[in-house]
Structure 1
Amino acid sequence: MLFIWLVTLLKKLLKINYMVKIFSVFCLIYLLNISTVQAQNFSTHQVKKGETIEALAKRYNVSLSQIYSYNPDAKEGLKPNTILIIPKSKTPQPKVTEIKELQGFKEHKTKRKETLYSLSKKYNVLEEDIKKYNKFLYANPLRKNDKIQIPIFKITEVVEEVKTNKTYTVLPKEGKWRVAYKFGITVKELEELNPDMGEVLQPGQKINVPNIDAAKEKTVDEKYSYYKVLPKEGFYRLKLKLGIEQAELEKLNPGLKESGLKAGTILKIPFNKAVAATEDRKENVDLATSITDFSTKHIAVMLPFRLNRVDFDSISGTKNSITRDPYLRASLDFHSGVLMAVDQLKALGVSLKVDVYDTKNQVSEVDYIIKNNNFETVDAVIGPLIAKTFQRAAVNLKPLHIPVISPIGNNLKLHDNVFQSKPADGLIKSRIINFVKADTLVNNIIIISDVKHTAVANELKREFNRATIVYSRKNKEGQDENYVVVDDIKNVLKPGKNIVFLETKNEGFASNVTSILNSLIQVENSQEKLKEISIVLATTNKNKAFEGDEISNEHLSNLQFHFATASKESKEEDDDLFIKQYTKAYKETPNSRAVLGYDLTMDTVLRLVTSSDLYMSVNEAPLTEYVENKFAYKKKLFGGYYNDTVYLVKYDDLSIVEVE
């Protein structure tokens, strides 16, 4: 990295010609005793008129992002005579041959002290070429007033084609970062090699990778964690964040000493729980492309329709029953998604038998359903929706070893046959905390809380011991007033990036705080001597307080509001087959319950037709994702299975987008 630093420094500071710059660089390298190995990892290139960055990337067998990472100014265009730092490629270098075509001559009358060497440099030709077209110079020295012909050549560089890339077949459980690490490149460089590879790699997919020797390919050791270097991140920041010395990083990552840190590089580090929780887990398996079992699958769906309470005597009576009964509304929404999934599965060639039962939201009815129906041939049960009836169904079906999948709730007793599809609240909280911990650009952390969330504020304080807590103000009687004033927050903000946790379920307090935070965002102004103050809002519990009419979505967007969630938000404009088909069938966009019914049914059945059973699918399909939900089941040591993945999202330009 010292080599790069020297070249960059000289490029900025030296006001002399470029040949002197290059000479100075190598003199400094010699004086500072930089190893030959380190210097050999980079070269320099003096840009010629008409050269493009694409042509240089091809010539030196490197990616565009590699050149830009060391020469950010090159993004604005190449200027003749600019010196570029070129990283050495890991793959064979193409052979470059120059072809010279004589275009004519320029007459030159020699002056005192001119030599063949000075003329060759002046006209950028070889001394031998000058002699070739002025044959008297073979026998006589160059004299003053000699009239000689200087040849003018058209020079064409021919770059020999070299197989720089090879085809690689993606293995099971391999995501982008694993493949990038294996071949010593960044994820961005892998994407540049494969512009059509898609967001998720699939087992058996053919992709392009650098053509390196098999012996040089790296393997992912599950005993370690793997960390992606962020922009502007150096060894000192990594030491503060990860507690790892530079020497240890270089020992675990051969070649790092020579190449230095580069944004996007995947580093092998000792196992780190926080890093493991934020590793790129986009190892989604598209089960729809992996169906192997076309025998009929039998599933049961249990929902609290409570049809015995519905007034079927008139259309208006039926409508009123639906309007009044929240259980019926939830069941109908969920069931509509199930029906769409069944149609989609049939289109994929899946043979399916589906039994739908009305639990009436009664434990006794669950007992009756299981006792009076043959469940021995059932492969999986989805539901019931309510905790008490779900627990009874799970206990009754446990002797038959039938998996029972819970659509809602995260405080269930995990019997051996239970699949808890909704991620636990603790996982959602830890996801946003680990995200903030991984951000090395944060200068300051502030926790704003009402009295009811004191415990959460104190928990965050233990995670971020340098954070400042700001509580909502109280009246004379000591009661929470659910507001703060500008100075309460302004006095604890710092120049640079501030992350503010807001912990409340009070819509008024959330509106008060977000409005003040929005007003305190400050753009750098050198004339007025104002430093930049950026503010990112976050919370460990996204609830209705952040969705009310008092809350400005514009403020949330300006504050890049970050939160973790069990499901992401789909939109009508999303190019998704389910949303299109649902809207066409029901004349309205699906709500979250309908989407969950679809996602959960698709996942359950696809796991059954791609694995021997639902239990085995946990290992064979570690992560699946559908319209709004993703599922990564893990087994408790003594008990059932729980969903161990959540989304991290943020407000961006009045929309909610996933954070990569």
Structure 2
Amino acid sequence: MKNILTIILLAFTIGLSAQNFVEHTVQPGETIQTIAKKYLVTPFDIYALNPDAKRKFQPNTVLIIPNSKIKNNPIAEEKRELIDYKSHKVKRKETLYGLAKENNVSEEELKKANRFLYSENLKKGDRIRIPRYKTVVSKQTLNNTVKKYTVQPKEGKWRIAYKFGITVAELEALNPNMNDVIQPGDVLNMPNIEDQEEKKIEPKFGYYEVLPKETFYGLKGKLDLTQEQLEQLNPELKTTGLKAGMILKVPADVDTVGSLEAVETTNLKRNLTNFKPKKIALMMPYRLDKVNVAEVEDTKEKIKEDKRLSAVLDFHVGVMMALDSAKQLGISTNLKVLDTRNQVSKTNELLAENDFSDYDAVIGPMDEESFNRVALALKADKVPVIAAMNKPKEVYSNVFQTLPEDKLLISSMIDFVKADSLKTKVVIISDQAHRATSEALQKQFPGSKLIFSRMDKKNKTKDAHFIYHTELQNVFSAGRTYVFLETNNNSFASGVISLLNGFVVNKTEIILATTDKNRAFEGKNIDNNNLTNLKFHYPSVNKNFDESTKNGFVKAYLKEYGVSPSKYAVRGFDITLDLLMRLASAESLYEGSTETIETEYVENKFRYSKDFFGGYVNQALYIVKYDDLRIINAN
């Protein structure tokens, strides 16, 4: 056995010599990244030859380093040298961002020159120093320099990685100072291959970025392409195999996002033309000032106790997963996350400290007053502000309200029942608080029967929230009867649902409906078997995703977190992906949100209507029903 190991080691050593590999002894303070940069290879190249380095990496470890594929040419290096400072008195409305942009310096450089800005906000009247730099160009030759490549319009990281036959991670390793969002004109380090060896981006094909640990078997389920088909389109797979981050060419009709499901009125993937990186701000009440991230258990308890914080974090996860899905379509995003702390004063601070004038959209804030402040502040610059989980007090011209109006939910439910040619009768059961609503409902269905809850015998002004069994006798006959139940009282809803369930016999079909599905229809007092038996119908801003046919987003979420996504996570994903798709299919969100465009994703759909004097309100919704203990879309 010892001899065999010696032979293998000798063969391996000979092989290294033949391929011009070198050895490197790790020095204190070095990392895989710094070593890769020194030899102009990628961390993945090093790990491939030194798999133990992933678990054991320390000084004096000897690593085998492959020869770099790039050649030694002199390159021009630009350096900025500080000349002096100029004095400036801060004027009204001037911001750190604006001053940095105006003087061609970074915000960090301004803070270094004015240390008080690390702890204080910039104020009118402050006297600050603005550094002035000169650019010095020098040519230097390194042991292994790189070929320089200038980013072209519409090119993102994945397009460039595909063109040069490397992974996105390898591209990032070759360019450690590269911006998260690259721009046309940026100069990058790339493998020094001949121009004719560069791959072409072909419009008739789609492109997919391989995820970590992804297999050919997994891709067969996601892309519906076999290993043989993928290798035919991407011949290099036969020698390299699948690597995380590598870009694959696939047929144009393959769904590379894996999350845009079934019924889509408009498939925006076919309309993507604007690949300029999207600048988005996410303003949410994370309340990081109240959370001690160092105390893990304490933080967990806070998340459990604070339902709003839990919802915000779930929404945030959905947003981030939407950015990843959009990235697979070539849509890159520069996201800025801001904590409003659920305080109007903090929201005002964020508005003063940040320049949003060139942003494509702002998502949030959640609370009504803060949202109103942001929408009004950004109205002059026509920056779209997205009301993701709330209905704003004022729908300004730059506001996109993603939740449909209540009156639309009511009218849609009424229209649904009216359109059912099989209905024979309509019955309306209501508590006293919903008297006006139910009387208006009866006018929509002439000849319908209206039954109100009984009043308390002792206190004639108090609703007792019940009806007698006898009031429903002789009401139902053979055929289909719709029963509207209008209440927000859980005990009344529970009692009526139980009574109705007893009348479903033989050829008598009773369909329970409501125009307002609230908490009265939930909880331990409500038997879901009864709701299923009564085929409970109601209008909803969202549907439930089908557990039996999980889409790409749900699969990815389950794999990452081990549970199904909450409605907040799904909403964060749907709203953000829709926003990015609309921005990428037009010059602005306004142009991409005409009434002819209706989109649908995991649980939500969107069709915006422009109010003549105001902003945009979502007109798309669902009529859903209980079926076999599931909530599904009603046809």
Short-chain TM bin: 0.5 to 0.7
Q: Give the conservation status (yes or no) of the 8 Å contact 1:446–1:499.
A: yes
- The runs of 5 or more residues in structure 1 that have no matched partner are 1-203, 206-280, 524-531
1:483 aligned to which of 466, 469, 472? 466
Secondary structure of the structure 2 residue equivalent to 1:573: helix
* 1:467 partnered with 2:442: no
8 Å Cα contact 2:595-2:609 kept in structure 1: no
Q: 5 Å matches for 1:579-658?
A: 579-619=554-594, 622-658=597-633
Letter in 2 for 1:625: E
* Cα distance in structure 2, aligned partners of 1:312 and 1:566: 35
Instruction: Show the counterpart of 2:356.
Output: 375
Shift of 1:421: 0.3
1:394 to partner: Cα distance = 0.2
Distance 1:399 1:301 in 2: 19
Q: TM-score, normalised by structure 1?
A: 0.55
Which residue does the alignment assign to 2:138?
A: none
Partner of residue 282, structure 2:
301
SS at match of 2:492: helix
- Match in the other structure for 1:434: 415
Corresponding position: 1:419 with 2:394: no
Give the superposition deviation at 1:561: 0.9
1:582 is displaced (CA, Å) by 0.9
CA-CA distance at 1:283 after TM superposition: 6.2
Contact 1:304–1:384, Cα closer than 8 Å, also in 2:
yes
Measure how far apart 1:620 and its partner are.
7.7
Distance 1:385 1:365 in 2: 13
Deviations 1:196-216 (A, max 9, x none): xxxxxxxx99xxxxxxxxxxx
Moved >4 Å (runs of 4+) = none
The residue number in structure 2 matching 1:196 is none
Residue in 2 that maps onto 1:132: none
Cα deviation, residue 490, structure 1? 1.8
Question: Please, which runs of 5 or more residues in structure 2 have no aligned partner?
Answer: 1-251, 254-261
Residue 554 of structure 1: SS of its match in structure 2? helix
Deviations 1:387-422 (A, max 9, x none): 111111100111111000101223531100000001
1:542-573 deviations in Å (ceiling 9; x for gaps): 11221211212111111111111000012443
Q: Deviations over 1:47-85 (max 9, x none)?
A: xxxxxxxxxxxxxxxxxxxxxxxxxxxxxxxxxxxxxxx
Partner of 1:322: 303
8 Å Cα contact 1:611/1:620 also seen in 2: no
Instruction: Look up the SS of the partner of 1:617 in the other structure.
Output: coil
Are residues 1:510 and 2:485 paired?
A: no
The Cα shift of 1:623 comes to 0.1
**Structure 2 counterpart of 1:541:** 516
Q: How many Å apart are 1:574 and its aligned residue?
A: 3.0
| 1:551 maps to 2:534 | no
Residues 372, 392 of structure 2: 8 Å contact kept? no
8 Å contact 1:428–1:540 — kept in the other structure?
A: yes
Structure 2 residue aligned with 1:496: 479
Structure number with larger C-alpha Rg: 1
8 Å contact from structure 1 (residues 411, 424) kept in 2: no
Q: Secondary structure at the residue paired with 1:400?
A: coil
SS state at 1:300 partner: strand
Whole-angstrom distance in 1 between the partners of 2:272 and 2:584: 6
Q: Deviations over 1:58-114 (max 9, x none)?
A: xxxxxxxxxxxxxxxxxxxxxxxxxxxxxxxxxxxxxxxxxxxxxxxxxxxxxxxxx
Contact 1:624 1:630 in 2 (8 A): yes
Distance 1:496 1:587 in 2: 45
The residue correspondences of 1:53-452 to structure 2 (distance < 5 A) are: 284-410=265-391, 412-452=393-433
Residues 282 and 594 from structure 1, CA distance in 2 versus in 1: closer, same or farther, beyond 3 angstroms?
closer
**Residue aligning to 1:153:** none
Counterpart of 1:567 in structure 2 is 542
Aligned length: 374
Cα deviation, residue 375, structure 1 = 1.3
Check conservation: 1:499, 1:538, Cα contact below 8 A. Answer: yes
Which TM-score applies when normalising by structure 2? Answer: 0.57
> SS state of the match for residue 302, structure 1?
strand
CA distance in 2 between counterparts of 1:334 and 1:543 reads: 22
Report what 1:458 is aligned to.
Answer: 439
